[in-house]
Structure 1
Amino acid sequence: MKNKTFATWLTFLGGPLGLHRFYLKGFGDLLGWLLPIPTALGLYGIERVQQFGQDDQWSWLLIPLLGFTMAGCALMAIIYGLMTPEKWNARFNPLLEPDAEAGRTNWFTVIGIAASLMVGTAVLMAALAFSFQRYFEYQIDEARKISQ
């Protein structure tokens, strides 16, 4: 029996590691095994910024991977949390009644949806802002080199 509230929180908190995919679909889920890769690359990008500074071009590419993965998992948490009990149970608990307790929404589910919305939006906007800022600063520096 797959609980919607638990899946919502697991997707929000452990989604970048693929934990929600293993919970809902089992250890044979390929996407669950692939999700830690962009997460690890994004963390490596953060490490590169700490080692080499903000002018490291690889970090401009790697850090947004972490942000986009976290934002995508927050979006999935919202989708799971907003599913109707009938749709949830039909998809993840096919042997249960359509209105079984596992698919029902409670206040803890709503709090998970709200937290996913706030954090997911903040992470997505931060990743976009960092990437675009570094890219445009690089373009300005290259234009200065050409003009001199």
Structure 2
Amino acid sequence: MKNKTFAAWLTLVGGPLGLHRFYLRGFGDLLGWLLPIPTAIGLYGIERVQQYGLDDPWSWALVPILGFTFAGCALMAIIYGLMTPEKWNARFNPQAAPESASGNTNWFTIAAIVLALAFGTIALMSSIVYGFQKYFDYQVDEARKISQ
């Protein structure tokens, strides 16, 4: 029996590593194995920022990937949390009754949805702002080089 509340929290906390995919679909899930790759790429971008500073063009291209991964996992946590018990049990607990308790929503599920909405929004907006700001700074610097 797959619990909706646990799946929402697992998606929020361990989603960028694919843990929620393994919980819901098993270890044969290809996307669960591929999900750590953009997470690692984004962490490498953060490491480049620490080594080379904020002016590194690779870092401003790689860091938003981590934010988009976090935002996508937060979106999945919201989707899982807002699923009706009937739809949840039909998809992840087909052997259970449609009104089985594992698909019910409780206050812990609502807390996961609220935190996923907050952290997902922060991650998405920060990634967009960081990427575009660095891109526009780069464009301004290149325009200055051309004009001189």
Asked if TM exceeds 0.5, the reply is yes
Match of 2:7 in 1: 7
- Amino acid aligned to 1:96: A
Q: Give the whole-Å Cα distance in 1 for the aligned partners of 2:45 and 2:23.
A: 28
Residues 53-93 of structure 1 show CA distances to partners (whole Å, capped at 9, x for unaligned) of 01111111110110000000000000000000000000000
Report the CA distance between 1:2 and its aligned residue. 0.1
Match of 2:137 in 1: 137
Contiguous gaps of at least 5 residues in structure 1: none
* 1:117-128 → structure 2 map (5 Å cutoff): 117-128=117-128
Give yes or no for the alignment of 1:72 onto 2:75: no
For residue 115 of structure 2, give the secondary structure of its aligned residue in structure 1: helix
Q: Give the whole-Å Cα distance in 1 for the aligned partners of 2:31 and 2:78.
A: 19
For residue 119 of structure 2, give the secondary structure of its aligned residue in structure 1: helix
Give yes or no for the alignment of 1:56 onto 2:56: yes
Report the CA distance between 1:17 and its aligned residue. 0.1
- Amino acid aligned to 2:140: I
Q: Give the whole-Å Cα distance in 2 for the aligned partners of 1:71 and 1:119.
A: 7
Question: RMSD of the TM alignment (CA)?
Answer: 0.3
- Amino acid aligned to 1:110: I
Match of 2:41 in 1: 41
Give yes or no for the alignment of 1:81 onto 2:78: no
Q: Give the whole-Å Cα distance in 1 for the aligned partners of 2:142 and 2:8.
A: 45
- Amino acid aligned to 1:55: D
- How many residues are matched? 148
Q: Give the whole-Å Cα distance in 2 for the aligned partners of 1:44 and 1:11.
A: 22
Match of 1:114 in 2: 114
Match of 1:19 in 2: 19
Q: Among all aligned residue pairs of Structure 1 and Structure 2, give the percentage whose two residues are the same amino acid.
A: 74
Contiguous gaps of at least 5 residues in structure 2: none
Q: Give the whole-Å Cα distance in 2 for the aligned partners of 1:57 and 1:30.
A: 31
